């Protein structure tokens, strides 16, 4: 497969995106060289910017942000005036922390971002008043509650978006600063954008920044948290934005790419002469039989597709509970990336803790690169060196430290990077992870001889030689249950279809859609394993080997 990072010449589609200078919305399919294209575009922007100017580059995860920043740095571009990070981080460090006091007054103590588990009286009281309110449509009286909390040193995690938008709208100094500092705002994974993020993006564009939105409506998998591809489609229809399409898949075998596109579009033309790389298999038995089938097939599949590492094989499951049912039956080495207490904590300190755990558990990871994400080695040399030494010491002594000392060391590093983001919930979540060896192990990358087991959600953005896509049963994918009108129906059909699409497109060489005659539900009861309707959607059963 073509590796776009090593491809010196962009395709015509990519070149059009890179060269266009006004507002754009890029619809990028999996494996289309999206990150390469964004990197090259930002490189061109920064080379033509003044030294003090940069871009706002928003990614959905800190990992994706770090990858994008390193790509830019590797292209030999000065990115120190640019922002790379998540939207929440941008809101905090560029809007709320520096300009909140212009609107609400000075906080009486160091600001603390409070997660949902924070039990301080003021926070509980504030949350009680806001309970049931739509965070995307807070009224002035609600903002007054947030202002009162702010002055007392508290920022509710779930109100960061609303707080930032309010401050930006009402602080002329903030708007002038953003416009002077940044020329462009780039948001990746725009299909997972919420209402407030969309509104902020439009405000920034209306205030003079050039807008670049990148996404794929078919990879929207976070509908349960208020995210929607509707905002991406609004931009496509917006006359102020020119749409571009990256639809050539460099990652997957052509038959996998075609299959995934037919999954979403019944009129997509299929090539009957192509070698089929989507395989449908149904085994007799339940989860144990599935695992036995996979283990038996592995030697021949590695030989057929000419690779040696077990870590190039992914077992993708619809949920953690189903993953538990599968992982317990493997007799060969495997890596099960289980959900941890930190996974759904998006606070600044939690992101630091997760990154630190990944670096500690991966001995080959470069501490220098970690530090580069937070401090410039030239402009902030003292802070850079201080952070480097703290992380190096923590990594060396991690296995011998007691729990309390580990937590203290992690906290010291978080205070150095984000001194205003003290978060008791994140500290508690960190403690839960550090107490549990299995949770810590989830931050260790798979070794070459380990199969990788993870949820479909966790697999987004990753790629594997071979994918075993499990859980394709009636009632599971797509989910069925009683809707808000107490009528039995599909509860998350579009989200589930997109999840299936994500699963299929993780495969480079082959994807095996594997079901069984029996399955177990969440209560442990054995049920009939009825195949999902997704397996025959749009006539796709005719294109499975």
> Residues comprising the binding site for ATP?
28-35
C-beta of residue 534 within 8 angstroms of C-beta of residue 480: no
Map 181-249 to HEC letters. Answer: HEEEEEECCHHHCCHHHHHHHHHHHHCCCEEEEEECHHHCCCHHHCCCCHHHHHHHHCCCCEEEEECCC
C-alpha span between 325 and 469 (Å, rounded):
15
Count of CA atoms in the C-beta half-sphere (13 A) of 96: 30
What order of strands is seen across the sheet that includes strand 334-336? 278-283, 507-516, 464-469, 313-317, 451-455, 334-336
C-alpha span between 210 and 474 (Å, rounded):
45
Q: Which two tokens stand for residue 248?
A: 């050539």
Residue whose entry in the numeric block shows the structure tokens 């036995």: 292
C-alpha span between 5 and 497 (Å, rounded):
30
C-alpha span between 411 and 270 (Å, rounded):
55
Q: Can you list the positions of beta strands (E) in 59-106?
A: 83-85
Residue of 502, 146, 118 whose CA lies nearest to 345? 118
Instruction: Please report the sign of the dihedral spanned by the C-alpha atoms of residue 303, residue 309, residue 312, residue 317.
Output: positive
Task: Report CA-CA distances (Å) from 116 to 79, 197, 353, 410, 456.
Answer: 35, 21, 18, 21, 26
Query: Can you say which residues are annotated as belonging to the binding site?
Result: 28-35
Element (H, E) at 7: none
C-beta of residue 501 within 8 angstroms of C-beta of residue 477: no
Instruction: Please report the sign of the dihedral spanned by the C-alpha atoms of residue 263, residue 267, residue 272, residue 273.
Output: negative
Task: Report CA-CA distances (Å) from 511 to 65, 286, 421, 473.
Answer: 28, 20, 43, 17
Could you tell me which residues come within 8 angstroms of residue 372 by beta carbon, excluding any fewer than 6 positions away? 69, 70, 73, 384
């Amino acid at each position: 497969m073509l590796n776009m990072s090593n491809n010196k010449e962009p395709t015509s589609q990519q070149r059009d995106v890179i060269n266009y200078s006004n507002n754009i919305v890029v619809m990028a399919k999996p494996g289309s060289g999206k990150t390469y294209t964004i990197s090259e575009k930002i490189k061109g922007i920064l080379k033509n910017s003044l030294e003090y100017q940069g871009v706002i580059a928003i990614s959905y995860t800190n990992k994706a942000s770090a990858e994008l920043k390193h790509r830019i740095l590797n292209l030999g571009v000065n990115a120190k005036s640019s922002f790379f990070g998540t939207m929440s981080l941008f809101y905090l460090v560029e809007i709320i922390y520096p300009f909140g006091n212009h609107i609400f007054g000075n906080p009486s103590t160091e600001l603390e971002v409070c997660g949902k588990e924070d039990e301080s009286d003021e926070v509980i009281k504030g949350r009680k008043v806001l309970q049931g309110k739509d965070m995307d449509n807070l009224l002035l009286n609600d903002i007054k509650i947030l202002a009162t909390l702010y002055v007392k040193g508290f920022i509710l995690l779930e109100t960061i978006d609303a707080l930032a938008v309010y401050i930006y709208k009402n602080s002329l100094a903030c708007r002038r600063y953003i416009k002077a500092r940044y020329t462009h705002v780039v948001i990746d994974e725009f299909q997972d954008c919420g209402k407030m993020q969309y509104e902020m993006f439009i405000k920034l564009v209306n205030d003079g920044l050039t807008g670049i939105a990148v996404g794929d409506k078919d990879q929207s998998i976070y509908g349960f948290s208020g995210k929607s591809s509707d905002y991406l489609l609004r931009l496509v229809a917006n006359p102020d934005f020119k749409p571009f399409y990256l639809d050539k898949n460099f990652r997957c075998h052509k038959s996998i790419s075609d299959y995934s596109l037919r999954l979403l579009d019944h009129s997509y033309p299929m090539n009957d002469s192509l070698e089929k790389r989507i395989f449908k298999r149904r085994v007799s038995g339940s989860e144990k039989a599935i695992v036995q089938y996979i283990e038996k097939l592995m030697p021949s599949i590695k030989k057929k597709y000419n690779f040696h590492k077990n870590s190039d094989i992914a077992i993708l499951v619809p949920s953690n509970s189903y993953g538990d049912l599968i992982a317990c039956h493997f007799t060969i080495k495997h890596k099960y990336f289980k959900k941890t207490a930190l996974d759904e904590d998006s606070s600044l300190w939690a992101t630091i803790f997760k990154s630190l755990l990944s670096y500690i558990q991966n001995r080959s990871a470069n501490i220098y690169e970690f530090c580069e994400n937070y401090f410039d080695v030239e402009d902030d040399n003292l802070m850079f060196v201080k952070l480097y030494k703290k992380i190096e010491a923590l990594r060396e002594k991690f296995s011998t430290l007691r729990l309390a000392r580990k937590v203290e060391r992690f906290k010291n590093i978080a205070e150095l990077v984000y001194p205003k983001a003290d978060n008791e919930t994140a500290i508690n979540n960190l403690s839960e992870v550090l107490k549990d060896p299995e949770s810590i192990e989830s931050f260790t990358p798979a070794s070459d001889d380990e199969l990788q087991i993870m949820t479909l959600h966790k697999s987004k953005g990753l790629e594997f030689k071979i994918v075993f896509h499990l859980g394709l049963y009636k009632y599971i994918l797509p989910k069925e249950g009683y809707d808000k009108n107490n009528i039995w129906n599909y509860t998350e059909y579009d989200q589930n279809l997109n999840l299936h699409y994500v699963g299929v497109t993780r495969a480079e060489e082959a994807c095996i859609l594997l079901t069984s005659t029996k399955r177990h539900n969440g209560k442990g009861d054995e049920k009939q394993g009825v195949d999902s309707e997704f397996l025959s959607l749009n006539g796709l059963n005719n294109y499975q080997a």
